[in-house]
Chains A and B, each alone.
Chain A
Amino acid sequence: MILRAAAAVFVKDLRTEWRTRVALNALLLFAFSVLILVGYAVGPTRLALEDRPIVNSVLLWIVLFFSAMTGLSRAFVNEEETGTASALRLSAPPAAVFLGKLLGNLALLGVVMALVVPLFLALMSFGIAAPGLFLAILAFGAIGLASASTFIAAIVAKTAAKGALFAVLATPLLLPPLVAAVTGTRIAATEPELAAGLDAVRLLFAFDGIMITASFLLFDAVWRE
Chain B
Amino acid sequence: MKVLGSVGKVVLGVGMAVILWAAFLYAHPAESFIGESSRIVFFHVPTAWISALAFLLAAWHSALYLKTRKIERDDAAASAARLGVLFCVLATVTGSLFAKVMWNSYWNWDPRQTSIVLLLLVYGAYLGLRQAIEEPERRATLSAAYALVAFATVPFLMFAVPRMYASLHPDTVINARGKVEMSPDIKLVFFTSMIAFTALFAWMYALDVKATRLVRRLEERADGGHTA
Question: Are B121 and A171 interface neighbours, CB within 8 A?
Answer: yes
Complex CA–CA separation, A159 to B130 (angstroms) = 10
Question: Are A214 and B142 interface neighbours, CB within 8 A?
Answer: no
> What 0/1 pattern do residues 185 to 220 of A give for CB contact below 8 A with B?
000000000000001000100110011011101110
Is B8 part of the contact surface with A, judged by Cβ < 8 Å? no
Is A165 part of the contact surface with B, judged by Cβ < 8 Å? yes
Is B144 part of the contact surface with A, judged by Cβ < 8 Å? yes
Question: Are A173 and B153 interface neighbours, CB within 8 A?
Answer: yes
Which of B144, B150, B160 lies in contact with A221, CB distance below 8 A?
B144
Which of A148, A155, A175, A207 lies in contact with B145, CB distance below 8 A?
A155
The distance from the CB of A183 to the nearest CB of chain B, in whole angstroms, is 10
Closest A residue by C-beta to B121: A172
Which residues of A are found within 8 Å of B129, using beta-carbon distances? 155, 159, 165, 168-169
Complex CA–CA separation, A165 to B127 (angstroms) = 11
Instruction: List B residues 159-178 near A (Cβ within 8 Å).
Output: 160-161, 164
> What 0/1 pattern do residues 60 to 93 of A give for CB contact below 8 A with B?
0000000000000000000000000000000000
> What 0/1 pattern do residues 131 to 148 of B give for CB contact below 8 A with A?
011100110011011101
Complex CA–CA separation, A93 to B171 (angstroms) = 48
Which of B118, B141, B148, B152 lies in contact with A176, CB distance below 8 A?
B118
Which residues of A are found within 8 Å of B164, using beta-carbon distances? 199, 203
Is B128 part of the contact surface with A, judged by Cβ < 8 Å? yes
Main secondary structure of the interface of A (DSSP, over half): helix
Is A41 part of the contact surface with B, judged by Cβ < 8 Å? no
Is B122 part of the contact surface with A, judged by Cβ < 8 Å? yes
Is B97 part of the contact surface with A, judged by Cβ < 8 Å? no
The distance from the CB of B225 to the nearest CB of chain A, in whole angstroms, is 23
Complex CA–CA separation, A14 to B157 (angstroms) = 35
Is B86 part of the contact surface with A, judged by Cβ < 8 Å? no
Is A139 part of the contact surface with B, judged by Cβ < 8 Å? no
Which of A152, A158, A171, A173 lies in contact with B138, CB distance below 8 A?
A158
Main secondary structure of the interface of B (DSSP, over half): helix
Question: Are A161 and B132 interface neighbours, CB within 8 A?
Answer: yes
The distance from the CB of B157 to the nearest CB of chain A, in whole angstroms, is 5
Q: Max chain A CB contacts within 10 Å: which of B124, B132, B161? A: B132
The distance from the CB of B72 to the nearest CB of chain A, in whole angstroms, is 17
Complex CA–CA separation, A148 to B122 (angstroms) = 13
Which residues of A are found within 8 Å of B148, using beta-carbon distances? 214, 217-218
A-side interface size class: 20 to 34
Is B14 part of the contact surface with A, judged by Cβ < 8 Å? no
Which residues of A are found within 8 Å of B161, using beta-carbon distances? 176, 203
The distance from the CB of B223 to the nearest CB of chain A, in whole angstroms, is 17
Is A222 part of the contact surface with B, judged by Cβ < 8 Å? yes
Question: Are B118 and A175 interface neighbours, CB within 8 A?
Answer: yes
Question: Are B121 and A218 interface neighbours, CB within 8 A?
Answer: no
Is B12 part of the contact surface with A, judged by Cβ < 8 Å? no
Q: 8 smallest A-B Cβ distances: which pairs?
A: A172-B121, A214-B152, A172-B122, A218-B145, A176-B157, A225-B141, A161-B132, A222-B145
Add 18 more A-B contacts to A148-B153, A173-B122 (CB < 8 A).
A155-B129, A155-B145, A160-B132, A168-B128, A169-B128, A172-B118, A172-B122, A172-B125, A172-B150, A173-B154, A176-B153, A203-B160, A203-B161, A207-B153, A214-B152, A218-B145, A222-B141, A225-B142
Show 27 residue pairs from A and B whose CB-CB distance is below 8 angstroms, ordered by the A residue. A151-B149, A152-B146, A155-B129, A158-B138, A159-B132, A159-B133, A159-B142, A160-B134, A165-B128, A168-B128, A169-B128, A169-B129, A172-B118, A173-B122, A173-B154, A176-B153, A176-B154, A176-B157, A176-B161, A203-B160, A203-B164, A206-B156, A210-B153, A214-B153, A218-B145, A222-B145, A225-B137
